[in-house]
Each structure stands twice: as structure tokens, then as C-alpha cells.
């Protein structure tokens, strides 16, 4: 137990410990988390990316990397690496189509192992893609990792904003120093003419940030090319000069100034 506590202390020494929330699934949280991690690395941060969604680990597919995680002589997990970003995910430990049918205690054990037994080396920024909602896994991460930055991803529509407000409140209850909101799927860019359509409305994320007195970090549009690249294991922020990538880069600059 002492070893686990000591290793948790090691992860708390990472300068930027960023958790990415969403109040509900389907808002593009993982797409935002992945691209934000690589945007931060592009600006010079030494970044680790932890996919903490135990039952729905999509990060490996988005990065186009696979294979089992290795361990060193001390039994510590060695992350995968892509473009200098160190990556850990349950997706490296299971078959792509195998469901993870675990009760809460097993999920919590896996989360603790990812937090305490990974060789992050000289990482100065750890981005954690949380599962949707405000459940046990998230509680475990907040309690043990003690993040100093939280980003809540929402879509503009009122139902998503309502769920996101719970995530904001949870971040506040844990006294996370910096809390920000990103409005994802804020308009759809037509691939033919570039015209932007507000399918889900607009401004819900900014209003949420204002109502809860937290930072509004920016908005990201839906882009068909971004979806296609993510499906192919390409990272949009590194491969696409488009409104989505430019939005993520601007947001990462704000996160670096926190």
C-alpha cells in the first residue's frame, strides 16, 4: 500500500494534470482530448495521454496504434508512444471487439494501476480522458490524481449543457484550480462550400461557463474530414489545416496560460 501511495505522489508532481469531463456520452470528448494532447505537445509540452474510459477505450483507434502494453523489470507499465506523446489505454489490453464486463471495484483497481504503475518519465502534462458522467472511476481519479485543471466538453444543445453542468459542479466540489468549458459540435462545416450550419444551436457552452463563473475556452465545429481522419488513426490537429484544428490550437494556448 505504501508503494501505491508513493507512486500516486509521483503522478501528483506532474505540473499540469488535466482531466477532460463530459456530463454525457456522444459529445466528442475523446476527439477533443486526443487533439488537445497533441496540440499541447506541438507547443513544446511533454505530454502523457491516459484513456481512463475502461469500458469504452477509443483512444488507440484514433491514434492508429495497437499491440499490448509492455512492463519493465520492476513491473511498471511502459506507455505506447505516438509523435512524442506517451499513451496508456485499456484498449491495448483487450481485443477490439471484446466487452469489458467489470463491476465497479475492478474498474477502480485498473484506474489505480494506471495512475500508480505507469512509467511516465519526464512528462510535464498529463491529459486524462475520463469516462462520461460522474461515476466511480472519475471519483477515484479525482481523489488520487488530484488534478489542477479540468475541461468540460459539451455540445450547444440544452440537454447536453444540463449534463455538463453536473460535471462543472463536480470539478468545483473537488476544488480544481482551473476549470474551463469547450463547446464541441458548434456548427457543421459543409465539405463542399464551407458554409456553417448550427445544427445543435450555438452558445450553450459559453452560457454554461458564464453561469458557473468558469473559463470559456472556445468552440469547435463538426468537420467531416476530422471524423474520417479519426477513423483512420490520423490526428486532425497534426494533419488538417481546418477550423476544428485551428480551434483546438487556440484552446491549447489558453490551457498553457492557465
Q: Where are the beta strands (DSSP E) in 96-237?
A: 125-129, 149-154, 178-183, 188-189, 196-197, 215-219, 222-223
User: Looking at residues 161-170, what average pLDDT do you find?
Assistant: 94
**pLDDT, tens digit, for every residue of 17-73?**
999 998 788 899 999 999 999 999 999 999 999 999 888 899 999 999 999 999 999
CATH homologous superfamily of 2-257 equals P-loop containing nucleotide triphosphate hydrolases (3.40.50.300)
Tell me the domain boundaries of the chain.
2-257
**What proportion of the chain, given as a percentage, has pLDDT over 90?**
64
**What proportion of the chain, given as a percentage, has pLDDT over 70?**
93
Q: What is the pLDDT of residue 1?
A: 45
Q: What is the pLDDT of residue 2?
A: 47
Cα–Cα distance measured from residue 258 to residue 254, given in angstroms and rounded to the nearest whole number: 7
Grid cell in block for residue 42: 506541438
| 90 CB-near residues (< 8 Å, 6+ apart) | 51, 53, 54, 57, 100, 110
How far from chain centre, in Å, is Cα 65? Answer: 17
The neighbour count for residue 26, using CB atoms within 10 Å, is 10
The neighbour count for residue 112, using CB atoms within 10 Å, is 16
User: Looking at residues 218-225, what average pLDDT do you find?
Assistant: 90
Cα–Cα distance measured from residue 29 to residue 38, given in angstroms and rounded to the nearest whole number: 14
User: Looking at residues 78-89, what average pLDDT do you find?
Assistant: 96
Amino acid at each position: 500500500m505504501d508503494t501505491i501511495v508513493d507512486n500516486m505522489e509521483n503522478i501528483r508532481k506532474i505540473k499540469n494534470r488535466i482531466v477532460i469531463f463530459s456530463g454525457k456520452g456522444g459529445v466528442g470528448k475523446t476527439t477533443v482530448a486526443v487533439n488537445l494532447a497533441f496540440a499541447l505537445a506541438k507547443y513544446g509540452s511533454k505530454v502523457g495521454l491516459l484513456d481512463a474510459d475502461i469500458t469504452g477505450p477509443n483512444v488507440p483507434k484514433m491514434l492508429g496504434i495497437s499491440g499490448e502494453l509492455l512492463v519493465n523489470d520492476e513491473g511498471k507499465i511502459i506507455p505506447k508512444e505516438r509523435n512524442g506523446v506517451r499513451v496508456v489505454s485499456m484498449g491495448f489490453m483487450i481485443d477490439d471487439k471484446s466487452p469489458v464486463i467489470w463491476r465497479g471495484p475492478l474498474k477502480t483497481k485498473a484506474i489505480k494501476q494506471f495512475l500508480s504503475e505507469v512509467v511516465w518519465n519526464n512528462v510535464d502534462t498529463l491529459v486524462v480522458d475520463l469516462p462520461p458522467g460522474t461515476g466511480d472511476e472519475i471519483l477515484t481519479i479525482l481523489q488520487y490524481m488530484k488534478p489542477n485543471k479540468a475541461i468540460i466538453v459539451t455540445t450547444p444543445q440544452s440537454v447536453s449543457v444540463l449534463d455538463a453542468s453536473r460535471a462543472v459542479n463536480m470539478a468545483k466540489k473537488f476544488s480544481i484550480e482551473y476549470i474551463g468549458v469547450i463547446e464541441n459540435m458548434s456548427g457543421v462545416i459543409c465539405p463542399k462550400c464551407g458554409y456553417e450550419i448550427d445544427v445543435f444551436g450555438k452558445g450553450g457552452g459559453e452560457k454554461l461557463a458564464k453561469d458557473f463563473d468558469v473559463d470559456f475556452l472556445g468552440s469547435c465545429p463538426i468537420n467531416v474530414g476530422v471524423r474520417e481522419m479519426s477513423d483512420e488513426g490520423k490526428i486532425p490537429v497534426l494533419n488538417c489545416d481546418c477550423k476544428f484544428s485551428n480551434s483546438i490550437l487556440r484552446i491549447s494556448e489558453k490551457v498553457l496560460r492557465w
